[in-house]
Amino acid sequence: MRRVTQMLPRLWTNWVTLSGTILTTVSGCILVLTLAISFFGESQNPYAGALVFLVFPGLFVFGLILIPLGLWWEGRRKVKPDGAWAILQSAFDTALKDKKVRRGMLLVGIATLVNIVVFGASGQKAIQYVDSVEFCGTFCHTVMQPEHVAYQRSPHQRVACVDCHIGPGASWAAKAKISGLRQVLAVATGSFSHPIPTPVEELRPARDTCEQCHWPAKFHGNRIRFFTHYADDETNTASTTAMLMKVGGVDPTTGDYRGIHWHVSPEVQIQYEVLDRSREKIGDVTVRQDGKVKQTYTPPHEKAEVLEVRTMDCVDCHNRPTHIYDQTPARAVDRGFFVGRLDAKIPFLHEAAVAVITDDTQPRMQEEHVIAGLASYYDKEHPEDKPGQEQLNSAGRVLADLYSINIFPEMGVKWGTYPSHLGHRGGDADQRGCFRCHNDEHKSEDGEVISQDCDVCHEILHEDEPPSSLPESLRALWQVD
């Protein structure tokens, strides 16, 4: 034990070295303990994780810097300043002759290796933490709450945020972290937008992210989609439309792209002028084939300022692949009926439900508030058909949930705040989605237009008819939109 104590440097000679020793020891012990706990799969609170994996490594390194700084300062006080080289040479000569000093140097070397291991492990854990869904979705709770809630019920809920927002490679990871510093500052100062603006301008091209899993060249052929709605009548009458979507891809018989996925053919590049922040107003559309301009279509309206020129990729149509919201109260209620969460046997429930959750200026609704709203609506509009309290309670719980996963007043997220461009069901604005370009108004010099013909992308198989009237071949495939 005496030899060990002799090997220890005098880490308490001054307040600088002592402070560094305490910081390094305490933060190092916490890091080692936390790493051991995380090894056995214990989950971290997002704020505790930020403290342990982002703050303590910084304190650990800061302490390591203070220790030699304090020792150097102490040496400067005791040794006459004969020059840096002379001091270093004297220390080296002493180390070669003095066995005690050599032991101290060995201890410093071993401690350095231990420090490298601890800091490396904590650094790797810090990278994993800042790339985790918990950090992205819950650390800045108010700001990211709408996106995190939508993510948790999306088709990509098992795909990490960074897989789509950053993708593989160090360069994009570095860009994302640098951009993240600006976002952290905005959150800290409260200067962030309400709601968060879309589209994300710094998003990596879809060919580097989406196409790592989704291959547009794969021939999908035609797919059947169903769109089901419920009426505001006593029986909440259901009607459905069946469409044959011409998804397309590479035709295995000809090797050519066809169908909707023709837009992302490697041989065809569609470039368009963006005239507004939301990419809903489109200027000139240029079609290039094998790098050569094939046709240019110009809109009828007066030329506006061009914000950017984009080459069309996946997210120009699939702009809400993960953070999906119901665009209208009616669509949210339709979904509740279709999956069986709302009872279609309750008279006028569709009408009442839509009326109750339409006001998106209210705070995130509690069950009691929704139940009271339903009861009040029935008392006023359909007192003779008012359901029992148990039915009101059941419907109220579902509607409160539908409201809370779509409406976030504190972030300015309301019905239709984030429209989908997949298709052309964008609510009141009939120029959203496909109709941004396919409007029969973008014309080339020779008079050709970008067609709005329905048969270009789909065929209607069954339109606004009761589900019971679907052909037997379609009834088994009936699915919610």
Examine the domain organization and report whether 284 and 393 are in the same domain. Answer: no
d(CA 74, CA 86): 17
Confidence of residue 112 (pLDDT cuts 50, 70, 90): low
d(CA 402, CA 326): 9
Confidence of residue 221 (pLDDT cuts 50, 70, 90): confident
What pLDDT digit, counting tens, does each position of 47-85 carry? 555 555 666 677 777 777 777 776 666 666 555 555 555
Residue ending a domain, among 111, 130, 149, is 130
Residue ending a domain, among 130, 156, 173, is 130
Residue 1 reports pLDDT greater than 50 = no
Q: Is residue 201 part of a domain?
A: no
Q: Is residue 188 part of a domain?
A: yes
Examine the domain organization and report whether 39 and 71 are in the same domain. Answer: yes
* Distances 343 to 59, 310, 311, 347, 402 between C-alpha atoms, Å: 58, 46, 46, 9, 15
Average pLDDT, the chain: 80
Q: Is residue 178 part of a domain?
A: yes
Examine the domain organization and report whether 349 and 367 are in the same domain. Answer: yes
Two tokens at 336? Answer: 């509740």
Examine the domain organization and report whether 441 and 460 are in the same domain. Answer: yes
Examine the domain organization and report whether 225 and 166 are in the same domain. Answer: no
pLDDT of residue 194: 86
Two tokens at 100? Answer: 């005690």
Q: Is residue 233 part of a domain?
A: yes
What is the phi-psi region of residue 447: left when phi exceeds 0, alpha when psi lies from -120 to 50, beta otherwise? left
Residue ending a domain, among 375, 393, 411, is 411
Q: Is residue 69 part of a domain?
A: yes
User: What mean pLDDT do residues 454-460 have?
Assistant: 86
Instruction: Name the CA radius of gyration of the chain, rounded.
Output: 32
pLDDT of residue 6: 47
pLDDT of residue 119: 65
Look at the chain and report how many structural domains it folds into.
4
Examine the domain organization and report whether 228 and 354 are in the same domain. Answer: no
* Distances 351 to 135, 276, 335, 346, 373 between C-alpha atoms, Å: 40, 36, 14, 11, 13
Work out the percent of the chain whose per-residue pLDDT is above 70: 76
Residue 43 reports pLDDT greater than 80 = no
What pLDDT digit, counting tens, does each position of 184-215 carry? 788 778 888 888 888 887 788 888 888 888 87
d(CA 121, CA 135): 19
d(CA 85, CA 355): 83
Q: How far is CA 24 from the centre of its chain?
A: 36
Cis status of the peptide bond prior to 347, with omega within 30 of 0: no
| Angle at CA of residue 437, ends 435 and 442, nearest 5° | 120
d(CA 456, CA 410): 42
In sequence order, the 6+-apart residues with CB closer than 8 A to the CB of 396 are: 367, 368, 370, 371, 373, 374
User: What mean pLDDT do residues 91-112 have?
Assistant: 62
Residue 94 reports pLDDT greater than 50 = yes
Examine the domain organization and report whether 107 and 23 are in the same domain. Answer: yes
Of 52-61, 89-98, 104-113, 230-239, the range with the highest mean pLDDT is 230-239
Examine the domain organization and report whether 10 and 125 are in the same domain. Answer: yes
pLDDT of residue 386: 92
What pLDDT digit, counting tens, does each position of 229-274 carry? 999 999 999 999 999 998 887 777 777 778 888 888 888 889 999 9
Does the pTM of the predicted model rise above 0.85? no
Burial of 30 (0-12, 13-18, 19+ CB in 10 A): middle
Examine the domain organization and report whether 338 and 448 are in the same domain. Answer: no
Examine the domain organization and report whether 16 and 77 are in the same domain. Answer: yes
CA-based end-to-end distance of the chain: 74
Q: Is residue 139 part of a domain?
A: yes
pLDDT of residue 480: 44
Q: Is residue 207 part of a domain?
A: no
Residue 343 reports pLDDT greater than 90 = yes
Examine the domain organization and report whether 245 and 139 are in the same domain. Answer: no
pLDDT of residue 7: 44
What pLDDT digit, counting tens, does each position of 278-315 carry? 888 899 999 998 888 999 999 987 778 899 999 998 88
Examine the domain organization and report whether 75 and 187 are in the same domain. Answer: no
- Judge contact between 70 and 63, C-beta under 8 A: no
Q: Is residue 215 part of a domain?
A: no
Task: Quote the domain boundaries for residue 306.
Answer: 221-322+421-475
